Structure 1
Amino acid sequence: MSEQASPFVSYKLTGDVALVELDDGRVNVLSHEVIAALHAALDRAEHEARAVVVTGRPGKFSAGFDLKVMQAGPEEARDLFRAGMDLFLRQYEFPIPIVAACTGHALAAGAIWLMCCDVRVGADVQAKIGLNETAIGMVLPTSVVTLARDRLSPRHVHSSVLLARLYSPEAATDAGYLDWVVPAEELDEAAAAEAAGLAGNLSIKAFAATRRIIRGPVAKAARNMLDDDTKSFTVGLET
């Protein structure tokens, strides 16, 4: 049975897999309310699941941070950036596997969200995926660039970070935002099957310990950058 963690975030436990779905009826922006609800869903999953699937609404995984908040003023933008990065880094270090079912567009913070999941399965639909910050007058914070260097293909880091290259789901598998794509009607089943396989095949204790080894240094470096990144975070630089 699906339960509403908030008006926009639902949670459903099936066997050992927790399904966390974001659907705001529009483009799935990340607000403080949504971020808090995603934390609450992860709190539950950490105690009762062995793997997680995070997904969006059809055609829209996430358009990134809520622009109404980001454009409300410098402090509001910095607070939302910090809240989002705390969520993403929590996912990056989460003690059980997280599978993303990318339903469509994943832009800016939506692309960062994908980078912080373990396995990313995409729907083969017309969609754009990527870090478009420099195209909209924003400087990518050092902590985000650090994550991009870790999770994206080295051949695509420059294009993704500096040139704001956006990718189709198929091309995003080469760039490193996604691992593979499936027909849209098969996405839910494919992501659930992947998560169930991880839940059944992995030792969660060994997974968590190895996670600390492979991702701990990157996460620590990114966290150490966050205070400075937050202070210098700006929205809407002149083009």
Structure 2
Amino acid sequence: MTGIVSYELNDGVARIVMDDGKANVMSLAMLQALDAAFDRAAADRAIVVLSSARPGVFSAGFDLKVFAAGDPGASLAMVRAGAELALKLFTFPQPILGVCRGHAFPMGAFLLLGSDLRLGEAGDYRMGLNEVAIGIAVPSFALELARARLHPAWLNRTATTGEMYGPADAVRAGFLDRLVPATDLDAAAETAVAALKQVHRPSHALVKQRLRGEAAARIRAAIDAELTPAAYAARHRPEPVA
């Protein structure tokens, strides 16, 4: 697999790397490529390391140009693909290590929230749920995902005000698990992978299901209730002119 998403399998570890040549915008094409990569990792029963090849950015989030174009069908297809991908990561039967070297705007942040262990590079960048700051309500699937991984006070701040967090606060909030100096991040990732290889996989999958099953059901229900053509069109219908 090549192009905007690469896939490399070695010694039971699947390295999935995003690189669209710019800011890893979560277009429908990017989301579909990531979805296919995770399906391949599931078939390979591999530990996943998810990262970006772009310096200073993990992902710029959903493609705002699609929203701005005013095509509800295209917007729905993109958002639903993102929601399904986030749920896939959240319930993935193998361990996922997310490696973040830069900005993670909402859909990028959702990928980190779906990962099991998240390493962040120490640096000057931001992540969070900034939708309300740009005129978008945070989708319910994302709120349920964030509710399962973020500390409540920090979730309320980012979801209701659009506040974005620097790396240290991202750890406190729950977007990341720990920070590592840039020069040590690759070595730290390899150490983390070595530790994940010691995890008993059937137990990992069972505990993940027990721990996340109720939240996963709420995410599934939110997708099925909100991300349908009728529901999406109703919420995005233009206001009547007075």
Q: How far is 1:17 from its partner?
A: 1.3
Q: How far is 1:235 from its partner?
A: 11
1:53-132 to 2 correspondences below 5 Å? 53-56=49-52, 57-72=54-69, 73-132=71-130
1:22 alignment partner in structure 2: 18
- Counterparts of 1:138 and 1:234, CA distance in 2: 10
Question: Quick one: structure 1 residues 163 and 236, their matched pair in 2 at CA, closer, same or farther if it must change by over 3 Å?
Answer: farther
SS at match of 2:136: coil
**Of 166, 174, 177, the match for 1:176:** 174
Aligned alpha-carbon RMSD (Å): 1.8
More displaced 10-residue stretch of structure 1: 47-56 or 132-141: 47-56
1:52 alignment partner in structure 2: 48
Does 2:227 correspond to 1:226? no
Larger Rg: 2
- Counterparts of 1:175 and 1:75, CA distance in 2: 34
Q: How far is 1:41 from its partner?
A: 1.4
1:12 alignment partner in structure 2: 8
2:158 alignment partner in structure 1: 160
Structure 2, unpaired ranges of 5+: none
TM value normalised by structure 1 = 0.91
2:202 alignment partner in structure 1: 205
Q: How far is 1:79 from its partner?
A: 1.2
2:213 alignment partner in structure 1: 216
More displaced 10-residue stretch of structure 1: 165-174 or 187-196: 187-196
Question: Quick one: structure 1 residues 17 and 235, their matched pair in 2 at CA, closer, same or farther if it must change by over 3 Å?
Answer: farther
- Counterparts of 2:42 and 2:180, CA distance in 1: 28
Is residue 93–residue 212 contact of structure 1 (8 Å, CA) maintained in 2?
yes
Question: Quick one: structure 1 residues 121 and 6, their matched pair in 2 at CA, closer, same or farther if it must change by over 3 Å?
Answer: same
**Of 143, 146, 170, the match for 1:145:** 143
Structure 1, unpaired ranges of 5+: none
1:42 alignment partner in structure 2: 38
For 2:115, give the aligned amino acid.
C
TM value normalised by structure 2 = 0.90
Runs of 4+ more than 3 Å apart: 232-237
State the structure with bigger RCO (CA 8 A, min sep 6), 1 or 2: 1
For 1:22, give the aligned amino acid.
M
For 1:136, give the aligned amino acid.
I
SS at match of 1:127: coil
- Counterparts of 1:145 and 1:43, CA distance in 2: 25
**Of 132, 135, 147, the match for 1:134:** 132
SS at match of 2:111: helix
Q: How far is 1:15 from its partner?
A: 1.5
Q: How far is 1:143 from its partner?
A: 1.6
Is residue 127–residue 169 contact of structure 1 (8 Å, CA) maintained in 2?
yes
SS at match of 1:220: helix
Residue correspondences, number: 232
Question: Quick one: structure 1 residues 144 and 115, their matched pair in 2 at CA, closer, same or farther if it must change by over 3 Å?
Answer: same
- Counterparts of 2:89 and 2:5, CA distance in 1: 16
Question: Quick one: structure 1 residues 51 and 71, their matched pair in 2 at CA, closer, same or farther if it must change by over 3 Å?
Answer: same
- Counterparts of 1:68 and 1:104, CA distance in 2: 22
Identical-pair percentage: 39
- Counterparts of 1:136 and 1:94, CA distance in 2: 31
